[in-house]
């Protein structure tokens, strides 16, 4: 999409999320997040630095960042991220995110990070319980929802999430 198309789409999603009182986080684009008054932005390692994004968005917007190592996670926490995404935990085909970090790495991250940790990468209904057993605060799933029957997959995930203690 062009930036103009992305802006128009984001504006439409913003209206929908306000109507349904759902959070709206824009991936990568701080300018689009600002323009549509999104609830926050999710940054990648190659995107705008957290501190600069915070200056633009202010203290009340959510800023998350993808991390792939303990150092990146600690640096993100120190820089003021509200949450980190860590992974890929398992092998994923959604995008080239590097080699799987595994459950053990997620456990190690949780020992050092006090802000919420979102596990990402290869999360399915079949392995989501393992992710939550590590203490992960949330899990992000793409192909785990979209591969096969979306309603069935979503119900399975909701059942797992409801049983997290």
Residues 45 and 97 in one domain: no
Residues 99 and 32 in one domain: no
Residues 50 and 124 in one domain: no
Residues 159 and 91 in one domain: yes
Query: What is the pLDDT, as a whole number, of residue 29?
Result: 97
Task: Note the pLDDT tens digit of each residue in 143-154.
Answer: 899 999 999 999
Query: What is the pLDDT, as a whole number, of residue 15?
Result: 97
Q: Which of 78, 108, 133 is the last residue of a domain?
A: 78
Q: Which of 44, 78, 112 is the last residue of a domain?
A: 78
Q: For residues 157 and 152, what is the distance between their CA atoms, to the nearest angstrom? A: 9
Residues 98 and 146 in one domain: yes
Range of the domain at 151: 87-165
| Contact (Cβ atoms closer than 8 angstroms) between residue 44 and residue 28 | yes
Q: CA torsion 120→136→131→129, rounded to 10°? A: -120
Task: Note the pLDDT tens digit of each residue in 84-134.
Answer: 999 999 988 766 767 889 999 999 999 999 999 999 999 999 899 999 999
The structural domain count of the chain equals: 2
Is the pTM of the predicted complex or chain greater than 0.85?
yes
CA distances from 10 to 16, 83, 120 (A): 10, 22, 23
């Amino acid at each position: 999409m062009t930036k103009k198309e992305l802006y128009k789409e984001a504006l439409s999603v913003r209206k929908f999320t306000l109507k349904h009182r759902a959070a709206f986080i824009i991936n990568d684009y701080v300018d689009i997040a600002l323009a549509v008054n999104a609830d926050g932005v999710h940054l990648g390692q190659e995107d705008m630095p957290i501190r600069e994004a915070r200056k633009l968005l202010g203290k009340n917007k959510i800023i998350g960042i993808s991390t792939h190592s303990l150092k990146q996670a600690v640096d993100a926490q120190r820089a003021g991220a509200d949450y980190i995404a860590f992974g890929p935990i398992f092998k994923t085909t959604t995008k080239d995110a590097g080699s799987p970090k595994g459950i053990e790495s997620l456990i190690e991250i949780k020992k050092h990070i006090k802000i919420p940790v979102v596990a990402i990468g290869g999360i399915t209904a079949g392995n989501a319980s393992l992710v939550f057993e590590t203490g992960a605060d949330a899990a992000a799933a793409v192909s785990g929802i979209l591969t096969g029957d979306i309603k069935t997959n979503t119900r399975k995930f909701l059942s797992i999430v409801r049983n997290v203690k």
